[in-house]
Amino acid sequence: MAEYALELENVKKTYGKAVKTEVLHGLSFSVEKGSFTAIIGQSGSGKSTLLNIVGTLDQPSEGMVKILGKRTDSMGKNALAMLRNKTIGFIFQHHYLLPEFSAFENILMPYKIAHGRVDEKAKAYAEELIRLTGLEHVKNNPANEMSGGQQQRVSIARALINRPEIILADEPTGSLDSATTDNIYALLRELNQKYHTTFVVITHDQEVAQKADRIIELKDGTISLDVVPENKQGG
Ligand SMILES: Nc1ncnc2c1ncn2[C@@H]1O[C@H](COP(=O)(O)OP(=O)(O)O)[C@@H](O)[C@H]1O
Ligand SMILES: [Mg+2]
């Protein structure tokens, strides 16, 4: 039996009070542990709304989300924040690094928040992530003195520091050139294979989507396609 990192049942989202607009129309799907899923779809189709709900940053108007088998709708704010911080790493297009802090310090920040302090074990893991993301030569640079690609690598390493079982990424390479984009996706895949981290990644890039284990396409708030890419089919 498959084990699921994420399960959604009839998830709906409505925005607005006076004028209500439903932007997600009852989505149901599950994501297997350790899999790499690409979410594609036109701008405005509901991708970010969906990812924020999956990541418990936003609540569905209706329906249910389970993370690692746990229902999130019945959890209190604190329990939810704890589950999120321990289980999920987020990578956004705009990385929100602390500009004055070094790459190394930025990477360790979620650990510090979760544990109140940074120990030798965490530092060693941060060093490992720095090697993995190829940031050795800039690790002591302040975040605002690095290139866009380097900053994005820092945000990826930061998303991994608490060893989350799930990584949610919203167009993580949207502001980068294509060579850097290729490198970063290769890195995400490597992490997926090395740590069996579950990835759900919103992307505009067809090439990237074709390399995923699964492609889900949203169209006007419904799933219009849910497929295994051609190159993965068969045996
Ligand atoms: N906070 C919000 N308030 C009202 N409408 C929103 C809000 N966020 C998103 N929307 C609307 O929901 C729809 C889906 O948006 P979004 O999830 O950002 O799409 P995508 O990420 O695919 O571009 C759009 O029509 C957008 O205008
Ligand atoms: Mg979006």
Per-domain boundaries in the chain: 4-232
Burial of residue 195, with CB atoms counted within 10 A of its CB: 0-12 exposed, 13-18 middle, 19 or more buried: middle
> Which of 11, 14, 15 to mutate for ligand 1's pocket (most ligand atoms within 8 Å of CB)?
15
CA-to-CA separations, 55 to 25, 62, 200, in angstroms, rounded: 18, 16, 10
State the chain's mean pLDDT as an integer.
92
Whether residue 153 contacts residue 72, with contact meaning beta carbons closer than 8 Å, is answered with: no
Mean pLDDT of 221-231: 93
Tokens of 35: 């899999």
Q: From atom 27 of ligand 1, which residue's Cα is the shortest distance away?
A: 44
CATH domain 4-232 topology: Rossmann fold (3.40.50)
> Which of 49, 168, 217 to mutate for ligand 1's pocket (most ligand atoms within 8 Å of CB)?
49
pLDDT in tens, 150-174: 998 899 899 989 989 999 999 988 7
The model scores a pTM over 0.75: yes
Instruction: Determine the straight-line distance between the first and last CA of the chain, rounded to whole angstroms.
Output: 20
Q: How far is the CA of 194 from the centre of ligand 2 (A)?
A: 28
Predicted confidence at residue 134, as pLDDT, reads: 87
Q: Does position 74 have pLDDT exceeding 80, yes or no? A: yes
Q: From atom 3 of ligand 1, which residue's Cα is the shortest distance away?
A: 15
Q: How far is the CA of 46 from the centre of ligand 1 (A)?
A: 6
pLDDT in tens, 42-62: 999 999 999 999 999 999 999
Whole-number Å distance between alpha carbons of 75 and 79: 6
